[in-house]
Structure 1
């Protein structure tokens, strides 16, 4: 029995400072717009860590260091394709903040994060970044309805 499947790997990173702020991105994407953390796709032959460093730089102008893997979100995109989001966080960065064509980026108080106009599903996904005892956000379809589990 073949246990292999195709997978799409992406990443997202919560960048935070010493003043209780987190860097957010207000995505312009019509299909998935709203407040998220910066991130994007892992390129072929690129390491996961290198991809999150590159994506954060492209979308924010900040060069992050020492991103720590803090969780995974996954779901079946199609029967044979798994979509995986590797979640990272770091407080180590340098550079000048700038927005990109992906969306406006700005700092917001961590305590005010949930009051932002969030992208679909982000209220649960933020728990991967904010809580130490949650490490997986799994979406699955059951009888035509999408369900979510935090583990």
Structure 2
């Protein structure tokens, strides 16, 4: 079994959120800042580092909202993404960061934007009480997201 750990951190400012307009490689769309957790850092430290690298902002007081994972049974791969949200941030946005242009988007308009499937599916849960766990099975034949299950706590 191969495990890979990632994080996202939704930055909320009143009725808007900061999303990256990612337009490189096959994973295009608006996404929250985040990325791979480096060993041996904690998941929260990884989220804080990734936000700074991708946006220039310093975030604090992250609230855990849940996780989603991609499961590829054929390759025995499991990508686990820990999702956080915060309203506590400071700093100035980077110009031309590598992962995509940081853009403030009205929360009620965000779902109309092109997003990666997991981002679109998990987006509403980030603003609700409790946590979520989403499991997305990779459809090998179609080479895309397949069966999705969601559990709420």
Shorter-chain TM-score category? Answer: 0.7 to 0.9
- Range that drifts further, 32-41 or 111-120: 111-120
Pick aligned residue for 2:127 from 110, 125, 130: 130
How big is each residue's C-alpha offset from its partner over 1:69-94, in whole Å with a ceiling of 9 and x where there is no partner? 10100122453321100000000000
Aligned to 2:56: 61
Runs of 4+ in 1 over 4 A off after TM superposition: 141-145
Aligned to 1:85: 81
Task: Output the TM-score relative to the length of structure 1.
Answer: 0.87
The aligned length equals 146
Aligned to 1:94: 90
Decide whether the 8 Å contact of 2:33 with 2:55 is kept in 1: yes
The offset of 1:106, in angstroms, is 1.2
Task: Output the TM-score relative to the length of structure 2.
Answer: 0.86
Pick aligned residue for 1:112 from 94, 109, 116: 109
- Range that drifts further, 110-119 or 48-57: 110-119
SS at match of 1:97: coil
Counterpart-to-counterpart distance in 2, 1:8 and 1:29: 21
Aligned to 2:41: 46
C-alpha RMSD of the superposition? 1.9
The offset of 1:144, in angstroms, is 5.4
